[in-house]
Structure 1
């Protein structure tokens, strides 16, 4: 009996040794593949598409040095459109023709107005994306729609909407509608519909179907079952995802602004190209404060809407 056990033990030990050897072999092979892939990528980048990267790299710190303002108050002056002793006519600080008045008496500094425009683009796009994603997600859920062709069509449609980055979509609409915030709103909204629609229908598919079965038993219509059985369960998660998407859309709206989509991104691009160090740092500071404020506010609101236990989004309903 002991001999049989010892033979079985030896067989198990040999099996584990074989598995350990395979793991070591796979690890060495995977590491070698990654090293070779990285080396090949760096070689290809250096030989083919690096451009003047390596030639211009020594000048990187020169650019950083140029971004240092001439005095500590220059950023403050740029942020609030105050007169600058260094203004040679190119800074356009405190010029009356460039001022923005919300009312006849309420003046808003230019960068604050542009930042408000960027946030407005993100907010409108999030609302549009939430509304359309809300409608489409129920048609894509397998536990609510039995027609496979309909689910297939809706899911592929949402994949197409989110397949292209916002800046690519904005490029098409900027060519058609000219520069301004409207192409940016359209581009961010399109991508938001596809992104939120996918997140929403995954939440719907994890919903408890017992309320739906009860409503179906008493003869409720499909819309009534969705509205009274599913929506109350999934709405907190929907709002949580929408707030998360708002944070993303603020950043996306800034990037689109740099290519002509309006908002603070356009001013940032112009200030960098004209080497206006104080204006550039003022915009970066305003962007940082705004994004932190949006992140903190949306996180606080998500906790209030969803609750601390469901604050981790991946847990489902």
Structure 2
């Protein structure tokens, strides 16, 4: 027999189970509705963008054909022969010294732009942080400036600076600097907003100015995060420096645009491989530096 206590709680258990099932049905209905809306938006976006299935079906074989053309004609018997022998690696990379210099120029552009842009973003990040901004007007104005800087693509900046300063690396450095300032400014400001405000209050109570509190109370806390964002942006900027060369902003991208334009297929694959190796090397180095910085910060705590 069921005890009176169990009988007393059975209605409550039943009501709870019914409420749970009703909430689960409502959640599933909402998920289904959201999926239908998302699918409809994707279909509309594909139609507006003219991404028709027939176009994709017809274009995929041509992509495969292009990749087949850019692959080098390497032959095992001549693989390690000199640069005069067709089918060798040396023949494939016959302009390696020139390309290596252009890659160095690209990395140099990315490094200078990353440092300059991050320095500018650091200055703007403190007034762009909601918890540190001197006033609402300053906060919103700084935020809008950062949004404007990162909204415009680097290649648009590069076109403007090429027109102003001429073809060369300077246009590329300035273009990446401005975009980096906007992108890192947002990340830096968000890191600052998550900082502990007790050191800030202590510096201000001791008579320190707003700038002193930013420098001595907030910056030491967020510095590992800022360094991590800086290194990540350096990786991104190497890719950007390779692309903006297409509009004459210097670096390996300018050479890549030339070989693509003249259909020098094997040279295209050689340059692309060198860019991939460079980005991968920078990625590994940046990862090590980030872990080292985070480890030192945790040890200091």
TM norm. shorter chain > 0.5? yes
Whole-Å separation in 2 of the counterparts to 1:41 and 1:138: 38
Counterparts of residues 217-232 of structure 1 (less than 5 Å): 217-232=205-220
Q: Is the 8 A contact 1:142 1:205 kept in 2?
A: yes
| Aligned match of 2:260 | 272
| Aligned match of 2:110 | 122
What is the aligned length?
A: 290
The alpha-carbon deviation at position 124 of structure 1 amounts to 0.6
> Is 2:283 aligned against 1:295?
yes
Whole-Å separation in 1 of the counterparts to 2:217 and 2:114: 25
More deviation, 254-263/65-74:
65-74
Whole-Å separation in 2 of the counterparts to 1:171 and 1:50: 34
| Aligned match of 1:104 | none
Counterparts of residues 63-142 of structure 1 (less than 5 Å): 63-72=66-75, 82-83=83-84, 109-142=97-130
Show CA shifts across 1:8-43 (max 9, x none).
Answer: 222222212211221222232233333333344444
From the superposition, tell whether residues 93 and 304 of structure 1 become closer, same or farther in structure 2 (CA, over 3 Å): closer
| Aligned match of 1:149 | 137
> Is 2:194 aligned against 1:206?
yes
Whole-Å separation in 1 of the counterparts to 2:294 and 2:277: 25
Q: Is the 8 A contact 2:127 2:134 kept in 1?
A: no
More deviation, 185-194/175-184:
175-184
| Aligned match of 1:19 | 23
Whole-Å separation in 2 of the counterparts to 1:144 and 1:30: 38
Q: Is the 8 A contact 2:69 2:266 kept in 1?
A: no
The alpha-carbon deviation at position 264 of structure 1 amounts to 0.9
The alpha-carbon deviation at position 110 of structure 1 amounts to 0.7
| Aligned match of 1:235 | 223
Whole-Å separation in 2 of the counterparts to 1:298 and 1:138: 25
| Aligned match of 1:58 | 61
Q: Is the 8 A contact 1:69 1:75 kept in 2?
A: no
Show CA shifts across 1:241-263 (max 9, x none).
Answer: 11111011111111111232211
Counterparts of residues 160-171 of structure 1 (less than 5 Å): 160-171=148-159
> Is 2:174 aligned against 1:183?
no
The alpha-carbon deviation at position 296 of structure 1 amounts to 0.7
Whole-Å separation in 1 of the counterparts to 2:216 and 2:191: 16
Q: Is the 8 A contact 2:113 2:176 kept in 1?
A: yes
The alpha-carbon deviation at position 298 of structure 1 amounts to 0.8
Whole-Å separation in 1 of the counterparts to 2:183 and 2:49: 32
The alpha-carbon deviation at position 174 of structure 1 amounts to 2.5
Q: Which runs of 5+ in 1 are unaligned?
A: 95-107, 311-316
Whole-Å separation in 1 of the counterparts to 2:253 and 2:21: 59
Q: Which runs of 5+ in 2 are unaligned?
A: none
Show CA shifts across 1:93-135 (max 9, x none).
Answer: 67xxxxxxxxxxxxx8110011011101100100101111111
From the superposition, tell whether residues 76 and 275 of structure 1 become closer, same or farther in structure 2 (CA, over 3 Å): farther
Q: Secondary structure at the match of 1:109?
A: helix
The alpha-carbon deviation at position 232 of structure 1 amounts to 1.9
Q: Is the 8 A contact 2:93 2:270 kept in 1?
A: no
Structure ranking higher in helix proportion: 2
